[in-house]
Amino acid sequence: MKHAPHLTFSESSNSTLVTIISEHHAWRTLSGVQTNDYYAYRNALLNGCHLQKASFELRHPEVMIYDLSNIEPDFSYLSDDEIVNTWKYLNLRTSELNSIELRKIKGDGLSPEIAISGPSKPLLLDYKKSLIREALSHTSHTKQLSSIKPTARGIAKNRLLIATSDKTMDFHNRFCAFYSEYISHEHWDSSLPLNTRYIYEDHAIWHKIKTIAKNKLFLLSAGLPLALGYLATTEDQNIFFSEVHRQNDPSLLTRDNDFLDIFPHVLSSSDSWLIIDKAYTGGSLRAAANMIRKKLGYKLEIKTLALFPKTFSAFMSADYAIYAGKLFEVRSYASRLDRENWHTQLITEHSI
């Protein structure tokens, strides 16, 4: 049986002591706590508190229309110029959205991605389908898909996990047995890491990544399908996991405890490390690098790899980056890129 830690709520920076008055119970007055911290809420219930009031703030579903950093297989037959022209057309069309239901997702420097949000996922997918058809008919290209060998400009998550090797399945099962200890029992069936069905495809880029460092650290939860795709392709079992929680992470609601370690557990290491994660700002990569240094020593050789970077700062802050299906050593390209056009420049650049 799990017991709540005996902490006062004043010890949590996300909790505030409040006075609760019930006018329907003769103005009964008692103390309480107000918090937006899920763990503080869960521990309060275990300590005998009762939920007084709840409110929910829900994000609308999102759909990626076009992403230069990880181009969908349907566009692999396009030339460099056609890829950029299609992106420009879709960027213009989605910027003109004035629907109450649909809106373009905006952000600070989100150059490669064109994404939309709205209250209905089917509605978003229907809009994407019609808009892509419109863009491809508008973009000038004379070659037919059937006559061209596709170029792998992205890494798709389309490989069935159960169709991979025994080594891949064994690692997955060991991880799930370990990680389930951190997930509330009632959420086991809905936890994405514990119910992985598809992993990332066999791609030549995995073999290039293998040569960068001895150990590869992937960050959950996006990192599990990536790591299993890497393992299934290379059979390199020097893969590890950790977790860095960023803002607006809904998976926190499924936890009994934070996972703040490395799996498989590492007591010491003198080998080189490569930290791999999808990157919007690069903050998770930096946090994971600091975590490894604190646990294993500050003299370790640690490199970072930004997968599908969505901002110029995310690309520039990493040692390596995967962009449009190509591996880049960032330092070698830094002087050739500019902040305004880096996302289209990389489409035509030669990689490692």
Look at residue 153 and tell me if it is in a domain: no
**CA–CA distance, 297 with 14 (Å, rounded to integer):** 31
Where among 28, 55, 82 does a domain terminate? 55
Q: What is the pLDDT of residues 255-281, one digit of tens each?
A: 777 788 899 988 777 899 999 999 988
Average pLDDT, integer, range 215-241: 93
Q: Tell me which of 42 and 300 has the higher pLDDT.
A: 300
Residues 222 and 264 in one domain: yes
Residues 67 and 193 in one domain: no
Look at residue 79 and tell me if it is in a domain: yes
Residues 117 and 195 in one domain: no
- Tokens 């798709």 label which residue? 156
Other C-beta atoms lying within 10 Å of the C-beta of residue 67: 19
Residues 13 and 72 in one domain: no
Residues 105 and 212 in one domain: no
Whole-number Cα distances in Å, 312 to 12, 100, 131, 220, 343: 35, 30, 27, 23, 8
Residues 245 and 115 in one domain: no
Q: Tell me which of 318 and 257 has the higher pLDDT.
A: 318
Residues 184 and 142 in one domain: no
Where among 147, 174, 193 does a domain terminate? 147
Q: Specify the pLDDT at position 252.
A: 67
Residues 227 and 307 in one domain: yes
Look at residue 19 and tell me if it is in a domain: yes
- Quick check: 248 pLDDT over 70? no
- Quick check: 10 pLDDT over 80? no
- Quick check: 25 pLDDT over 90? no
Q: Specify the pLDDT at position 21.
A: 87
Q: Specify the pLDDT at position 251.
A: 66
**Mean confidence (pLDDT) of the chain:** 87
Contact 123, 102 (CB under 8 A): yes
Where among 103, 121, 147 does a domain terminate? 147
Q: Specify the pLDDT at position 247.
A: 55
Look at residue 152 and tell me if it is in a domain: no
Amino acid at 47: N
Residues 78 and 183 in one domain: no
Q: Specify the pLDDT at position 317.
A: 93
Residue 254's contacts (CB-CB under 8 Å, 6 or more residues apart) are: 183, 184, 187, 190, 191
Amino acid at 259: F
Look at residue 154 and tell me if it is in a domain: no
Residue 314's contacts (CB-CB under 8 Å, 6 or more residues apart) are: 279, 280, 281, 282, 306
Contact 217, 242 (CB under 8 A): yes
Give the CATH number for residue 167.
Answer: 3.40.50.2020
Look at residue 42 and tell me if it is in a domain: yes
Q: Specify the pLDDT at position 150.
A: 54
Alpha helices in the chain (DSSP H): 38-46, 80-95, 121-138, 166-179, 204-210, 223-234, 283-296, 312-317, 330-333, 342-348
- Quick check: 123 pLDDT over 90? yes
Q: How many domains, in total, are found in the chain?
A: 3
Look at residue 18 and tell me if it is in a domain: yes
- Pairing verdict, β 273-278 and 302-307: parallel
Q: Tell me which of 118 and 252 has the higher pLDDT.
A: 118
pTM of the predicted model as reported, rounded to 2 decimal places: 0.84
Residues 41 and 89 in one domain: no
- Quick check: 146 pLDDT over 50? no
Look at residue 284 and tell me if it is in a domain: yes
Residues 31 and 95 in one domain: no
- Domain limits for position 20: 1-55
Q: What is the pLDDT of residues 67-116, one digit of tens each?
A: 999 999 888 788 999 999 999 999 999 999 888 789 999 988 889 999 99
Residues 2 and 128 in one domain: no
Q: What percent of the chain has pLDDT over 70?
A: 90
